[in-house]
A and B are shown apart, each in its own frame.
Chain A
Amino acid sequence: MNQIWQMLADNFSFLLNGVLTTVGLTILGFVGALLIGTVVAVFRVSPITPLRVVGTAYVEFFRNVPLLTLLILIVFGLPDIGLLIPLFWCGVLGLVLAGSAFICETVRSGINTISVGQSEAARALGMSFGTQLRLIILPQAFRTMVQPLVNNFIGILIGSSLAAAVGVSDITNVTQQLNIRYAEAVVLFLLSGAVYLVFALGAGRIGSWLEGLVSTSRIGSAR
Chain B
Amino acid sequence: MGPERLAFLSVYRQERFSRRGAGFAILVYLDKMATPLVEVRDVHKAFGTFEALRGVDLDIGRGEKVALVGASGSGKSTLCRCINRLETITSGTITFDGQPLPQEGKALAEHRAQVGMVFQAFNLFPHFTALENVTLAPMRVRKLAKADADAEARELLARVGLSDKADNYPAELSGGQQQRVAIARALAMHPQLMLFDEPTSALDPEMISEVLDVMSELANEGMTMLVVTHEMGFARHACDRVCFMDEGQIVEQAAPDDFFDNPQSERAKDFLSKLLHH
Stretch at the interface among A84-92, A126-134, A146-154: A126-134
User: B residues 131-152 with Cβ under 8 Å of A?
Assistant: 136-137, 140-141
In the complex, which residues of chain A have a beta carbon less than 8 angstroms from the beta carbon of B169? Answer: 218-221
How large, as a class, is the contact surface on chain A? 20 to 34
Q: Mark A140-159, 1 if CB is under 8 A from B, else 0.
A: 10010000000000000000
Does A205 sit within 8 A of B, measured CB to CB? no
Which has the most chain A C-beta neighbours within 10 Å: B127, B168, B170?
B127
Q: How many angstroms from the CA of A118 to the CA of B86 in the assembled complex?
A: 12
A141 to chain B, nearest CB (A): 11
- Cβ-defined partner of B106 (8 Å) among A121, A123, A128: A128
Does A135 sit within 8 A of B, measured CB to CB? yes
Secondary structure type dominating chain A contacts? helix
Does A139 sit within 8 A of B, measured CB to CB? yes
Contact indicator A120/B123 (Cβ below 8 Å): yes
- Report the nearest B residue to A121, measured CB to CB: B123
Q: How many angstroms from the CA of A127 to the CA of B168 in the assembled complex?
A: 23
A144 to chain B, nearest CB (A): 12
Q: Mark B234-246, 1 if CB is under 8 A from A, else 0.
A: 0000000000000
A222 to chain B, nearest CB (A): 8
Given contacts A124-B117, A223-B171, contact A118 B125 (CB under 8 A): yes
In the complex, which residues of chain B have a beta carbon less than 8 angstroms from the beta carbon of A127? Answer: 109, 137, 140-141
Contact indicator B119/A121 (Cβ below 8 Å): yes
- Cβ-defined partner of B126 (8 Å) among A126, A128, A135, A220: A220
- Cβ-defined partner of A223 (8 Å) among B114, B124, B172, B182: B172
Contact indicator A126/B113 (Cβ below 8 Å): yes
- Cβ-defined partner of A218 (8 Å) among B123, B127, B136, B186: B127
Does A125 sit within 8 A of B, measured CB to CB? yes
In the complex, which residues of chain A have a beta carbon less than 8 angstroms from the beta carbon of B170? Answer: 220-221
Q: How many angstroms from the CA of A220 to the CA of B129 in the assembled complex?
A: 9
User: B residues 168-199 with Cβ under 8 Å of A?
Assistant: 168-172, 182, 185-186, 189
Contact indicator A125/B127 (Cβ below 8 Å): no
Does B221 sit within 8 A of A, measured CB to CB? no
Given contacts A120-B86, A220-B170, contact A131 B140 (CB under 8 A): yes
Contact indicator A126/B110 (Cβ below 8 Å): yes
Contact indicator B86/A140 (Cβ below 8 Å): no
- Report the nearest B residue to A117, measured CB to CB: B123
Q: How many angstroms from the CA of A143 to the CA of B112 in the assembled complex?
A: 29
User: A residues 77-121 with Cβ under 8 Å of B?
Assistant: 115, 117-118, 120-121
The 18 sampled A-B contact pairs (Cβ below 8 Å) are: A47-B104, A117-B119, A117-B121, A120-B123, A121-B125, A124-B119, A125-B136, A125-B185, A126-B110, A126-B111, A126-B113, A126-B114, A126-B189, A140-B125, A140-B126, A218-B127, A220-B126, A220-B172
- Residues of A bordering B, CB below 8 Å: 47, 115, 117-118, 120-128, 131, 135-136, 139-140, 143, 218-223
Nearest 4 pairs of A and B residues by beta carbon: A220-B169, A126-B113, A121-B123, A125-B137
- Residues of B bordering A, CB below 8 Å: 84, 86, 104, 106, 109-117, 119, 121, 123-127, 136-137, 140-141, 168-172, 182, 185-186, 189
